[in-house]
């Protein structure tokens, strides 16, 4: 049972900020062991830092032991407050840096999976230019599902994201970046893998077990999935690829992403002249955001990179 003190943090010191950053990393990594690589310190040191933080706050923040790592209710509240505090500190640092026109600070980007195989590589080039202009900039990339990217930008955990463009969410701004083509694939071992497209009837194709994405897509693209017998779902394209490669499902994948497996003879596109759709990918930022020199520099490079 935790013992509450009337005012455990009369002042927030640099030491407290350091402990809160470590706590944030531990939570986002899901435990002490997973956080070792990210933080560059050993598990025993992380444990001691967490003990120090709990003593400073007078609260029990997490459970650790054989049952695994989990936050207490108080720990969850402290984590949310820590996110707000660290975000405010980063905003302050960024605004002060802007007065000197020096690129310092963090850029946190949320990306939907499997964009690295796009031939245009606009994101890669923009990141290279940002690092050249600001060698001290710290870049964090988080590969998460599209819905989580948009939510992360809305609540301030992410500065910018790249997602498939569906209907715009209130509070966000979208800028088109790419257009990618998705084809309908099956894998070696699937009953349709060796069937000639000219002999493949639509009714037979539409009766196969298929995969649907759980992320938002434009209405006209949803129609492609509604025509299929979707008996499985995935939150991202990598999850869809896993299921397709079992040889038990068909599903749509971006052609640039599937290309390596096609070359290896593990995937084939089914009726590619008829079964395809084109999807726009867009950068997403929060409306009314505070000035952020690092972010604006990245967006500028992204817009200039074609």
Model pLDDT for residues 161-214, shown as the tens digit of each residue: 988 887 888 899 999 888 889 999 999 999 999 999 999 999 999 999 999 999
Residue with more model confidence, 116 or 249: 249
Q: Averaged over 135-161, what is the pLDDT?
A: 89
* pLDDT in the model for residue 1: 44
Long-range contacts of 126-134 (CB under 8 A, 24+ apart): 126/298, 126/301, 126/302, 126/305, 127/298, 129/301, 129/305, 130/103, 130/294, 130/297, 130/298, 130/301, 133/103, 133/297, 134/102, 134/103, 134/104, 134/294, 134/297
Percent of the chain with pLDDT over 70: 91
Residue with more model confidence, 7 or 294: 294
d(CA 191, CA 21) in angstroms, rounded, equals: 52
* pLDDT in the model for residue 96: 66
d(CA 187, CA 258) in angstroms, rounded, equals: 11
* pLDDT in the model for residue 115: 72
- Residue 43, pLDDT > 70, answer yes
Residue 286's closest CA among 29, 61, 11, 91?
91
* pLDDT in the model for residue 2: 47
Model pLDDT for residues 268-292, shown as the tens digit of each residue: 999 999 999 998 888 999 998 877 8
* pLDDT in the model for residue 146: 84
Residue with more model confidence, 160 or 97: 160
Residues linked to residue 241 through DSSP beta bridges, in sequence order = none
Q: Averaged over 117-125, what is the pLDDT?
A: 77
d(CA 26, CA 33) in angstroms, rounded, equals: 9
* pLDDT in the model for residue 100: 53
Residue 165's closest CA among 183, 177, 154?
177
Model pLDDT for residues 46-83, shown as the tens digit of each residue: 889 889 988 988 889 888 777 778 889 998 999 998 88
Model pLDDT for residues 76-102, shown as the tens digit of each residue: 999 998 889 888 888 777 766 665 556
- Residue 148, pLDDT > 60, answer yes
* pLDDT in the model for residue 187: 97
Among 4-8, 27-31, 148-152, 292-296, the least confident range? 4-8
């Amino acid at each position: 049972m935790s013992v509450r003190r009337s005012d455990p943090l009369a002042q927030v010191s640099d030491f407290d900020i350091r402990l809160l950053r470590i706590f944030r990393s531990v939570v986002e990594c899901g435990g002490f062991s997973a956080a070792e690589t990210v933080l560059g310190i050993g598990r025993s040191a992380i444990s001691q830092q967490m003990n120090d933080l709990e003593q400073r706050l007078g609260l029990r923040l997490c459970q650790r032991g054989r049952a695994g790592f989990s936050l207490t209710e108080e720990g969850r509240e402290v984590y949310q407050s820590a996110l707000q505090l660290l975000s405010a500190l980063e905003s302050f640092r960024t605004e002060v840096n802007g007065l000197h026109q020096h690129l310092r600070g963090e850029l946190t980007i949320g990306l939907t999976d499997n964009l690295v195989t796009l031939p245009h590589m606009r994101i890669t080039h923009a990141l290279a230019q940002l690092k050249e202009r600001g060698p001290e900039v710290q870049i964090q990339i988080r590969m998460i599902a599209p819905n989580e990217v948009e939510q992360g930008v809305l609540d301030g955990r992410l500065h910018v994201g790249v997602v498939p463009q569906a209907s715009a969410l209130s509070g966000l701004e979208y800028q088109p970046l790419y257009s990618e083509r998705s084809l309908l694939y099956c894998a070696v071992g699937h009953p349709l893998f060796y069937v000639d497209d000219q002999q493949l009837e639509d009714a037979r194709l539409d009766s196969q077990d298929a995969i649907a994405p759980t992320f938002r897509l434009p209405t006209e693209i949803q129609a492609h999935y509604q025509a299929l017998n979707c008996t499985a779902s995935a939150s991202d394209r990598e999850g869809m690829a896993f299921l397709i490669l079992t040889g038990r499902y068909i599903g749509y994948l971006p052609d640039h992403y599937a290309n390596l497996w096609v070359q290896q003879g593990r995937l084939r596109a089914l009726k590619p002249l008829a079964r395809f759709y084109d999807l726009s990918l867009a950068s997403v930022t929060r409306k009314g955001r505070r000035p952020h020199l690092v972010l604006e520099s990245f967006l500028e490079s992204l817009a200039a990179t074609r």
